Chains A and B, each alone.
Chain A
Amino acid sequence: MSLSVDLKIKDLVETDIPSGSAEVKVSDALNLMIQKRVNIFVVVNKDKKIKGVFTLYDILDRLIPFFIKIDTSLGFISTNELITEERIRSLSNLRAKDLMVKKVYCLKEEEEMIKAIIMMYVKNFDYIPVINKEHQLVGVVNRTNVEKKIIEIINSFS
């Protein structure tokens, strides 16, 4: 029996993604993320090599003060508007390099789709950056890409 669909990472990858240099302002990065409807920003150097990533999670992380993180009930007793406003304001001074996580799990174009599925299932990743043989950024794989692929395979059966 031969496969009717290709199950390689390169067949899932989303290439139109928000990326830019480490100096990009967080607000500009966020704008790009909204525009492209992708909740990850990949920081690359001039050679398109990945230097780090940040997701919406890393931005949310900055909005919650530490004392609320360890006692979340404090976030539900009102009067937190001032704290939230101050936090958002402090975000505006940040650049991508301040938010990015440097240790990045990547996938290669030629690898199998199952690797992405495992990373999403076990490590709970929403987005996984994809690189080519030259270690340059190609795009990301996200949950929607996997869903689309599943549909594609199901349709190919009928």
Chain B
Amino acid sequence: MESVSGIIPPLLFLFLLFLLVTDRFNRSIITALFAIFFVIFNFINFEKAVESIDFNTIGLLVGMMIIVSVIAKTGIFQFLAIKMLKLAKGRPVRLMIYLSLLTAFLSAFLDNVTTILLVTPVTLYITKILGVSPFPIVISLIYFSNIGGTATLIGDPPNIIIGSEANLTFNDFLKYNTPVTVINTFIILSLLFLIFKNQLRKKKVPLELIKKIKEERLIKDKVFTLKAILILVLVLIGFVTHSLTHIENSIIALSGAFLILLLSVREPDEIYKEIEWSSIFFLISLFVIMAAVEQTGFLELISNGLFSLTKGNVELNTYLILLTSGLSSSITGNLPNTLLFIKIIEGIAKMGVDVFPMWWALSLGACFGGNASLIASAVNIVGADIYNKNILENGQKNSPSQKINFINFSMYGSLVTLVSLLVSFFYLKVSFFN
């Protein structure tokens, strides 16, 4: 560290993390104020601050948010959920399995929060018709939204950032993250089945009632829905063929976004409003803050410390990153945590070490860590909120359901995370260190 003033940015960053944990202020606003403070007091100069913002990440996020917000309004998510009900022939346990798989699949390609926002109400509707408790199913869907997002480059924001910063492609994620996500999905599904099967027992299934549901009415404009899905598929093809075309992911996503806007009958301004500006500003500010902290040399100290702690053992270092990123994500949320670890891993790379496995450890830790507590990921809060408001509204003494609160979510969630991290540990061991 060059001078005493070099200690200020890391300390301020720690203070910011503390403020984020306490959740007293809106995270995007407080982080933006910190970033502005860093620039005003020259902890980072303006040019460097602008340079530090990864526009590939921002463009990819904004592009996907636009595509998702258009697809979300087509009704296709709800349509698929009712299809799962019919496929399960109304049997609650099967329904839980099918809906969980659907949610994991959708979350792998689309924003997790949007997925939960659309799948939860229809699940509450379905469980109402079946007369079973919605608790096990909704809580499972939340867990699988976080798990499914791990599978691809675009599934979860940490993956987008890691992909962009570490130059990992969509196909790299398909090769390294998708298999472990699939394995983990089936293991967690079995675990949740064992935990919840008794709560989901139901003797009589109202098959006649289920047959009467006209799910096709959920899709308002069939032609447009098909066009929107086609654009999403083209965007995915664009990601997969990146190594041939060399078109940046952000450009692919943004082309899909503006093409879908062109075809949509909705006003573009109305769709722009659905972009999560709060997350975008949060991320931009974090980029600036991390760059300021990085240039003090403080992060190199951590990298060196971590590296000497494990005596230069890459394998041990990888597991350490998996564990610490998994645990810290559940406390600070996975964005600040991912950016911090990226800098630390880059520091380790400078020592001439092959850090490739560490990127996957970070991604798996940050994404799977989202299940550890109710505040670990935005999905958890959104899903629990819809569920609880529904319970409250029913208000009822004879309500068969319990609320999703911090304790019960974190109890099952930390178990889910623990198992996911164990699966990741074995996966990393087998894939890289055998």
Contacts and interface: CB of A to CB of B under 8 A. Distances in A.
Given A66-B390, A67-B390, A79 B212 contact: yes
Given A65-B393, A67-B124, A82-B209, A77 B129 contact: no
Contact of A77 (B124, B128, B215, B389): B215
Contacts of B82: 77
A71 B215 contact: no
Interface string B109-130: 0000000001011101100110
A65 B129 CA distance: 12
B390 A73 contact: no
A60 interface: no
B152 interface: no
A79 B209 CA distance: 6
Nearest to A76: B217
B296 interface: no
A78 B122 contact: no
Nearest to B390: A66
Nearest to B392: A66
Contacts of B121: 67-68, 70-71, 74
A78 B212 CA distance: 7
Nearest to A64: B393
A82 B389 CA distance: 21
A150 interface: no
B75 A73 contact: yes
Nearest to B391: A66
Interface residues of A, number: 14
Nearest to A62: B393
A83 interface: yes
B99 to A, nearest CB: 14
B78 A73 contact: yes
Contact of B217 (A67, A70, A77): A77
Interface in A76-96: 76-79, 82-83
A2 B390 CA distance: 58
Contacts of B125: 65, 67-68, 71, 74
Contacts of A65: 124-125, 128, 390, 393-394
A74 B129 contact: no
B143 to A, nearest CB: 20
Nearest to A70: B121
Given A71-B121, A74-B122, A66 B393 contact: yes
A82 B209 CA distance: 10
A34 to B, nearest CB: 26
Contacts of A71: 78, 118, 121-122, 125
Given A67-B390, A70-B121, A79 B128 contact: no
Interface string B348-389: 000000000000000000000000000000000000001001
Interface in B72-106: 75, 78, 82
A147 B215 CA distance: 44
A70 B394 CA distance: 15
B95 to A, nearest CB: 16
A83 B128 contact: yes
A47 B170 CA distance: 73
Nearest to B396: A90
B212 A74 contact: no
Contacts of A78: 212-214, 217
Nearest to B210: A79
Contacts of B124: 65-67
B217 to A, nearest CB: 5
